[in-house]
Structure 1
């Protein structure tokens, strides 16, 4: 199995769990946050939904500069909207990865904030990091849902709310 095939397989596997987690968000919780330092549910959900698009962005650019990027947060008010963003982001990321070659994973990609370099990695490593970011923020979403007493779906096995036995 090639690296591209392995990344596509992982992307599909993580998408199943991400879709389940995002689908659990009640529409009336998008302004809720568990702590003043936490982001609201809306921001967290949209970030998770948009992360698969980082695959295409990584393959199509040499980096990201937070100081100069033109970013407008996506506004949503329902889980249906979040899921639509996720499906589009996933399709875009998978298409870019499907059309990539192993050589496309080798160039470096730099994340920075102006003159401050945050990281410089190969494009393949950045794609893997974006998958890790999805898992990280999905776990964060699990905490939000748990605090709202919303059942958590299983991810890499059963959950306390969806036991296997």
Structure 2
């Protein structure tokens, strides 16, 4: 029951992430709102990368990010980032569909070498926080980046502010 709900949310939200990444213009990839912020390209690449982490969340009880690697390519190429996103979504889809309901209650831990970064937590909590909410947070940042550079963000949950103002 919970698993099917998570899978449905995953599929729905992938479309929103895709629309948002497709709205990122090449010309603004180096924009960053502050010295400590990522560039728009780095933020887009991070959003695409989160989908890769589904594999580690669903295939490992202890996921060590220090020994895992993902070839990301350049953050200055939005087409490459969208291709990365699409590849990672397929891996994520395969991983989430391999789960059983009882797997959601198993403990999961993320480490970086010897350092525990997250957990142990039930896998269901990790799905909601580290995967789903994490991507939603960064998508919200991307909306701000797009508006800050004079670009119109796509409507993710209905019409945007800009859409409402034009009616």
The 2-side partners of 1:145 and 1:151 are apart by 6
Instruction: Tell whether 2:61 aligns with 1:62.
Output: yes
**Mapping of 1:72-151 within 5 angstroms?**
74-76=72-74, 77-113=76-112, 114-129=114-129, 130-151=131-152
CA contact under 8 A between 2:104 and 2:124: conserved in structure 1?
A: yes
Q: Quickly say closer, same or farther: Cα 1:99–1:73, change in 2 above 3 A.
A: closer
The alpha carbon displacement at 1:116 in A equals 4.7
The alpha carbon displacement at 1:146 in A equals 0.8
Answer with 11-20 or 113-122: which moved more.
113-122
Paired residue for 2:5?
6
The 1-side partners of 2:106 and 2:7 are apart by 19
User: Please, which runs of 5 or more residues in structure 1 have no aligned partner?
Assistant: none
What is the count of residue pairs matched by the alignment?
Answer: 163
CA contact under 8 A between 1:54 and 1:127: conserved in structure 2?
A: no
Q: Quickly say closer, same or farther: Cα 1:102–1:69, change in 2 above 3 A.
A: same
Q: Quickly say closer, same or farther: Cα 1:72–1:93, change in 2 above 3 A.
A: closer
User: Please, which runs of 5 or more residues in structure 2 have no aligned partner?
Assistant: none
Q: Quickly say closer, same or farther: Cα 1:53–1:117, change in 2 above 3 A.
A: closer
Answer with 49-58 or 12-21: which moved more.
49-58
CA contact under 8 A between 1:62 and 1:108: conserved in structure 2?
A: yes
The two structures have a TM-score, normalised by structure 1, of 0.87
The alpha carbon displacement at 1:65 in A equals 4.0
Paired residue for 1:41?
40
- Tell me the C-alpha RMSD between the 2 structures: 2.0
The two structures have a TM-score, normalised by structure 2, of 0.86
